[in-house]
Chains A and B, each alone.
Chain A
Amino acid sequence: MSHLARPVSSSAPTIAMPQPKILWIDGVGSYAICDQNEVTIGQAFPGNQVDLAIRGDLSRRAAVIRRHGEDHLVQPLQSVHVNGTEIDRAVVLCDGSIISLGSRIELRYVKPTQLSGSARLELIGHTRWQPLLSAALLMGESCVLGPELNSHVVCPDWTTKVVLFRNGKEWMCRVSEQANIQIDGKLVRAPFPLVQGQRIRGDEISMTLE
């Protein structure tokens, strides 16, 4: 009942942007976890309802990336080029595809491994995500965080890897026992659910989903 008593004013006027779920990995970077089937990309300004916002010169809603089985399709909402060719309908992306939004913004679609439908979307050049991200993760059924270069999130200083996988609506973490993962100071056994706000700490792993 207590939450009913909370003043509503704090949330009313300043609903800025829907914050994507962000995985903050210490010593590595920050990654948006996009697990919905349709991810809208658009310009970052207050009040714009997009899933991934870019600080730059592009439309409010520039493109939609849609998950289709193990693949991703990009649907243009403004002038969108894929590998230099302007597209007028949804196009399948493959590893290394360059998506240009407007005249100045370029995104690279990286699919490090064919074993997973997950992919990474990186901004090339000066432009940045809002909030600041290293990359956005377009989540398939599973996603790998580890030291290998074909991981979805490359964590150079780690010796073990963490696998995120879907379990219904929530995400679970699978990690080797040696990693000594603790959540809120308590040792946990993998797989464990990835809960927003919990700090996950191991011998070398340290991350939080916001």
Chain B
Amino acid sequence: MFTMLRRRPREILAKNPTEGLPLGNHSNELSRSEPIGVSMKFQYGSGDTPLDGYKIKRGVGSGGFGEVYFAESDSGKEVALKRIQKNLEVEVRGVRHCLNLRHPNLVAIYDIKFDKIEQGWIVMEYIDGDSLRDLMDKAPQGMPAAETMQWFAQLAAGVAYLHDQGIVHRDLKPANVFTDGGLIKIGDYGLSKYISASRRGGQTESVGTFHYMAPEIGKGEYGKEIDIYSLGIILYELLTGTVPFDGESSQEIILKHLTADPDLSQVPQPFAYVIQKSMAKNPTSRFRDCREMLTALGWGLDASGLAIKVTNAVDVNVPPLLQPARTASRATEIPIARPIGSFDATVAGSPPVQGKSDPWKYRNGRNRDNITDSLYREPVARAIHQAVGEAQTFFRSLPPGGRGVAIAVSIIFLLMNSAWIAPMMFLFLGAYVCYYVVWYLLGGANKPIPANATGARPQYARYDQPVRTSPAMVQPTVHYQNAPPAALKPTPIPYRVALRNWQTEQRNDLKKRGFWTRSHEYTRSWTVSGIVTAVLAVCGGMLTIARYDGNANPLVSGIAWVSIMSLAMTWTVLFLARRWESRDEDSIVFRFVQLTAGVLLGVGSYSLSEFLMVPWSDIATSQNFVVINDGNVMWNKSWKGFYDQNSVPLLAGHIAYFGSLMWMVRWWRQSDILRKSRFSAWSIAWSVAMAALVQGFFYFPAPWCFILAGVTSFSLQMSSPWMDFKQNKQIT
């Protein structure tokens, strides 16, 4: 003991505190854990007392911002002492702001002290446990879902508390998260930045570890969305044992954050959904806060801010419930007599907490507005959404040529087979409506569906199936040290985000245009569309002639009808779109206006076909391949009064067709000056598909109804003015 006492002062004086910092301190910014083989050297050794009142026992580790020691106060209190090395001013300010935060899932900060040589020390709670990083290293294949949730829920609870206090952690990573006998403790939130609405980027220095860093950090945005993003990555890593984006260099990793999508093929539901949503490139598409994220996983926060499992959610493998516990609270009027079963009595990582304030009140009050995503409440809709998402991903993975072929093939397939596809669709729709009504009436929106009640969830992997990843994926990251700890270059903004920002900006500018500029645009578009429609209608008519085996002359009146009607539609839409393009999109209102215009167009169409005496029954090929023939009744023709004996649409038929078509398709988008691309084959395909859908409901002579929609879409896009985002971007 006494040798030590004598040695101490010399040790302190011998070393300048800033010199000879160990390697580990610097490399830590890039490495996920302490690099193997590199020593951790500490300025002070056991028995040193650089700070009055505390005796250092041993070095614990060194983070990006300083060495951490385990120490005991003179009276025997065990603490962690963190020596602030870099950015003293910034760090002290940040920590001072967090000095009085109190949450079980945060490492408590006791005090900030300065020693004789004006070094700053943070006195913190000492956590005697592994970091999440250590735990993950022990489970290179990922953890079971239940264990993952045990950790993750508490982590999210701690972050939720920080956010509630207006603090963004900004450096969430497994190495900063500690476990203390089943309890999660988030550390290093001294880096945190006070959220202020106006000034989001304060420190210009890049912070965080690249693997867990949200794409918008490159832009200097430090909203709480970056924590949500990091949480998504940590959740991914907990489950799979690997980070979603890895690379040889920091640049490579950053690029992946900006462009790549995480591989969720090995991740079971609902985790895949939660990870995908929290890792959205666009910050506004992520979960709005941690509560929403937890809710999607079947967890929540109790009134004291601790993570709590919603037992109604059955299991983590059951899709998330967004309005848990409501039926339970409805069932019991008297709060005291409430059944305990609706909330798990155990709070994650801590002994049961009883007699706290009412969790339901909390859920139905503050928490409730988070419950918005109706898509994920209903299992069938969710399954379809999932399938569509997968199809989309597949489609995107095709080369451009392949995409074209795929579109062409599917259009041809749809047209040729609409005879059975359309009735199937309607059957399904009808069945679904019935199902939804039953589901809703049974309280499906409010309470969980037992796993076997719907049978609509076969593709969700059970969580107890081990999450497998290929061995190549789970290689521990040895490369990290090689990557240069370069300062972050200003990183490009993700395309989608940039496009949206640009659109908003431009839309504001569009409001300022003068009357004449606008009129000029109208006339120009109208003229162009006139020419385009005429040409296209003729081409379309030719296609019909090729299939037609009678006298082709009556077709001329059909072609005339198509040209004039699609011209009228184009002009109508052009007129509406020009008026709307400086406004924020209000889909339902716009659709309704279009519907109204559609009714007028229907009237026009009927008069026109009467005037031209279009011989519909002669020139419609629909008898051969489009009509839905259910026994003897063609049921989409069975709207009495819509059609005459020869199935030729009357006024009501025209109105129904045009009205529906105008309602179904968001035509104004195809004419928007700020649309994504000048010309999109997708839009045409979509318009035609919608026409087919309408045709399945209200019969209209084919192929004319399809030609009409296609021609309108084509000419609309051709004649509408367009601002090239990419070009515009280069100029500015």
Q: Write the residues of chain A forming the contact surface with B, with a CB cutoff of 8 angstroms.
A: 24-27, 29-30, 125-126, 128, 131-132, 156-159, 184-185, 195-199, 201-208, 210
Contacts and interface: CB of A to CB of B under 8 A. Distances in A.
B93 interface: no
Contacts of B60: 26-27
B45 A26 contact: yes
B58 A128 contact: no
B658 to A, nearest CB: 73
The 9 closest A-B pairs by CB, nearest first: A204-B39, A208-B46, A26-B59, A197-B4, A24-B58, A27-B40, A197-B3, A199-B45, A24-B46
B34 A157 contact: yes
Contacts of B389: none
Interface of B: 1-4, 7, 11, 14, 34, 36-42, 45-47, 57-61, 70, 72, 78, 126, 128, 181-182
Contacts of B58: 24-26, 29-30, 207-208
A210 B78 CA distance: 16
A184 B7 CA distance: 8
A157 B46 contact: no
A13 B181 CA distance: 35
Given A197-B1, A197-B2, A210 B37 contact: no
A46 B648 CA distance: 102
A128 B128 contact: yes
B42 A206 contact: yes
28 contacts: A26-B40, A26-B42, A26-B59, A27-B59, A30-B58, A125-B181, A132-B126, A157-B34, A157-B38, A157-B40, A159-B37, A184-B7, A185-B14, A197-B1, A197-B3, A197-B47, A198-B3, A199-B11, A199-B45, A199-B46, A199-B47, A201-B41, A203-B39, A204-B39, A206-B45, A206-B59, A208-B47, A210-B4
Given A126-B181, A196-B3, A206-B40, 4 more contacts: A126-B182, A204-B38, A208-B58, A210-B46
A9 B17 CA distance: 37
B46 A132 contact: no
Contact of A208 (B45, B72, B182): B45
A2 to B, nearest CB: 11
A164 B724 CA distance: 73
A196 B70 CA distance: 19
A26 B22 CA distance: 13
Contacts of B78: 132
A97 to B, nearest CB: 22
A181 to B, nearest CB: 12
Contacts of B39: 157-158, 202-206
A24 B34 CA distance: 19
Given A26-B59, A27-B60, A126-B181, A157 B45 contact: no
Nearest to B40: A27
Given A24-B58, A125-B181, A157 B36 contact: yes
A95 B78 CA distance: 31
Contacts of B40: 26-27, 157, 204, 206
Majority secondary structure, A binding face = loop
A206 B36 contact: no
B38 A206 contact: no
Contacts of B42: 26-27, 206
Interface centre among A197, A201, A205 (most CB of B within 10 A): A197
A32 B2 CA distance: 20
A203 B22 CA distance: 10
Contacts of A184: 7
Contacts of B182: 126
Contacts of B4: 197, 208, 210
A197 B7 contact: yes
Contacts of B34: 27, 157
A208 B41 CA distance: 13
A80 to B, nearest CB: 23
A126 to B, nearest CB: 4
Nearest to B39: A204
Nearest to A16: B76
A205 B126 CA distance: 23
A201 B3 CA distance: 16
Contacts of B57: 24, 30, 210
Contacts of A206: 39-42, 45, 59
Nearest to B35: A157
Contact of B37 (A157, A195, A199, A208): A157
A29 B59 CA distance: 9
Nearest to A199: B45
Nearest to B36: A157
B704 to A, nearest CB: 75
A150 B181 CA distance: 24
Contacts of B41: 26, 201, 206
A138 to B, nearest CB: 21
Contacts of A26: 40-42, 45, 58-60
B626 to A, nearest CB: 71
A29 B60 CA distance: 7
Contacts of B14: 185
Interface centre among B11, B39, B40 (most CB of A within 10 A): B39
Contacts of A158: 39
Contacts of B2: 197
A30 B60 CA distance: 10
B365 to A, nearest CB: 34
Nearest to B58: A24
Interface centre among A26, A125, A197 (most CB of B within 10 A): A26
Nearest to A130: B76
A74 B562 CA distance: 97
Nearest to B56: A24
A64 B7 CA distance: 36
A206 B662 CA distance: 77
A159 to B, nearest CB: 5
A18 to B, nearest CB: 13
A201 B4 CA distance: 15
A201 B72 CA distance: 22
Nearest to A126: B181
Contacts of A198: 3
A50 B24 CA distance: 39
B402 to A, nearest CB: 49
Contacts of A210: 1, 4, 46-47, 57
Contacts of A132: 70, 78, 126, 128
Contacts of B126: 132
Nearest to A26: B59
A28 B41 CA distance: 12
Interface centre among B36, B40, B58, B72 (most CB of A within 10 A): B58
A177 to B, nearest CB: 16
A27 B11 CA distance: 19
A78 B42 CA distance: 43
Nearest to A147: B36
Contacts of A30: 57-58, 70
A156 B36 contact: yes
Contacts of A199: 7, 11, 45-47
B602 to A, nearest CB: 75
Contacts of B59: 26-27, 206
A67 B182 CA distance: 34
B270 to A, nearest CB: 31
A117 B512 CA distance: 87
A121 B11 CA distance: 33
Contacts of A157: 34, 36-40
Contacts of B46: 24, 199, 207-208, 210
Contacts of B70: 30, 132
B467 to A, nearest CB: 25
Contacts of B3: 195-198
A27 B61 contact: yes
